[in-house]
């Protein structure tokens, strides 16, 4: 409405939320909290492998580091299979996951330093 009470034919400005909805996007409220990156299951390990492949394609990591991550992921996946039937393999699996996670975090810290 205009100040004189009559309706205006001019379109009103859309809010950012309305603009996103018009483009088919939706806003995800994350609260600014990072995702817990502790490796717990096969899905977490697979996501790490996919992320390292993307980093390799974007030249953010070397082929040597990507190969090391791939080997450790393969080892961890084999240990997941063993840990299902051999309880003694669980601590070995946890140690391997911790080492893989440390390599990943080290790379993240280096990438943040470059940006």
- Let me know: does 73 contact 49? Beta carbons within 8 Å: yes
Give residue 110's pLDDT.
75
Distance between CA atoms of residues 58 and 51, nearest Å: 10
Q: Is pLDDT above 90 for 56?
A: yes
Q: Is residue 6 part of a domain?
A: no
In a domain, 33, yes or no: no
Q: Which residues contact 7 (CB under 8 A, 6 or more apart)?
A: 1
In a domain, 49, yes or no: yes
Domain count, the chain: 1
Digit-coded pLDDT (tens) for 60-100: 899 999 999 999 999 999 999 999 999 999 999 999 999 99
- Domain assignment present for residue 67? The answer is yes
Decide if 115 contacts 107 (C-beta within 8 A). Answer: no
pTM above 0.75?
no
d(C-alpha 104, C-alpha 6), whole Å: 62
3-class state of residue 59 by DSSP: coil
pLDDT of residue 41: 93
Domain annotation covers residue 62: yes
Q: What is the mean pLDDT of residues 13-41?
A: 75
pLDDT band at 27 (very low <50, low <70, confident <90, very high): low
| 1 within some domain | no
Range of the domain at 102: 39-108
For residue 112 the two structure tokens come to 């943040």
């Amino acid at each position: 409405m205009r100040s004189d009470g009559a309706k205006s034919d001019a379109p009103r400005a859309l809010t950012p939320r309305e603009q996103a909805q018009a483009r088919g996007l939706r806003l995800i409220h994350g609260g600014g909290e990072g995702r817990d990156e502790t490796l717990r299951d096969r899905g977490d390990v697979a996501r790490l492998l996919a992320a390292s492949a993307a980093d390799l394609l974007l030249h953010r990591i070397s082929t040597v580091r990507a190969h090391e991550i791939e080997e450790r992921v393969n080892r961890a996946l084999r240990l997941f299979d063993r840990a299902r039937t051999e309880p003694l393999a669980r601590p070995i699996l946890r140690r391997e996951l911790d080492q893989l996670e440390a390599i990943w975090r080290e790379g993240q810290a280096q990438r943040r330093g470059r940006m």
